[in-house]
Structure formats: C-alpha cells, structure tokens
Amino acid sequence: MKEDLRKLFIRDLGKLEKEINAYRHESSLWLLDKEILNSAGNLCKHLTGNLKHFIGHILGESDYIRDREAEFSTPHLSKAALSLEIASTKEAINLAFDKLDDAKIQLKYPIEVFGYEMTVQYFLFHLLSHLNYHLGQINYHRRLLDRP
C-alpha cells in the first residue's frame, strides 16, 4: 500500500509539472477571470505547500514551515520556480515515505486535521484526492485562460 501511494503522489506531481509547463504564456499562470478565483500558479503553490506540510513535515519530520496565506498571495513566479517547488515536494514525499512502514500507515495520523481521528492511510488518500481535484482545476484554467 505504501509504495502504491508513493508512486501515485510522484506520478501526479509529474502531471502537475506537465500542466504548469504546458502554459504557452507564463503570465497566464496567474490569471483570474470571472468565477475563477484561484490562479494555476497559486494552486500549484497551495498543492506543494500542503504536501510538504502534511507529508514532508508531519510524517517525514522535515523542518518545513507552511505559510498557507502566502500560497494564495505569492508574487508571480516563473515556470522554472514552480518546477523547483514541485521537485522539492517530490523529494519531501520520498523522504517521508522512506520513514513509513506498512504498520505505521495504519496508525492514527498525528494531528486531527478535520476535527476527528483518522489513520495515516486515510489521510494520504484524502491528500491524493485533493491533489487531483486541484490538478483538474489547473487543467481547465490552462485551457480556458492560456489563449494564443
């Protein structure tokens, strides 16, 4: 189970990087329009911050300090800078998963994120679905707002 989850996180972070790099115009990464209230760049920052915190820091015991507010207010970063964020997130996930074993994944997640107890495995599935939810938003954002 652990290795399957690791592979899925790494795979889907690769998809995130492909989406970011598929933008023809770097400035389009930061566009907002009508009901689209989060830019692709901010969603990318949100996803990397979320995973570096909940997997890298909490499970992997990294020294990462999350600034969730900055994820949505960061000045416009380049594709290259966002790609570095994604790469460092992959590294944090790999380091955290190296510390996990199949027994620990069945234990209680160290913090109550939603106000109730859950296993590490349950929360990892939640984080994976959260990643893919926003990945889909980024895909639509690109196709709607990154015009020639």
Which amino acid, 111?
I
The whole-number pLDDT of residue 50 equals: 97
Q: Which has the higher per-residue pLDDT, 52 or 34?
A: 52
Query: Domain span at residue 125?
Result: 2-145
Average pLDDT of every residue of the chain? 94
Tens of pLDDT, residues 59-83: 999 999 998 888 888 778 999 999 9
CB 19 within 8 A of CB 99: no
Q: What's 122's domain CATH number?
A: 1.20.120.450
Dist CA 125 CA 40 (whole Å): 23
Give the chain's end-to-end CA distance (angstroms, integer).
43
Q: Confidence band (pLDDT; 50, 70, 90) for 18?
A: very high
Instruction: Name the helix (H) or strand (E) containing 131.
Output: helix 120-145
pLDDT of residue 147 exceeding 90: no
Share of the chain above pLDDT 70, in %: 100
Closest CA to 23 of 121, 144, 119: 144
Q: What are phi and psi of 119, to 5 degrees?
A: -80, 160
Q: Could you tell me the pTM of the whole model?
A: 0.94
The number of folded domains in the chain is 1
Residue 134 has pLDDT above 90, yes or no: yes
Local confidence band at 31 (pLDDT 50, 70, 90 cut-offs): very high
Phi, psi for residue 36 in degrees, rounded to 5: -85, 100
97 with 6: CB under 8 angstroms?
A: yes
pLDDT at 45: 97
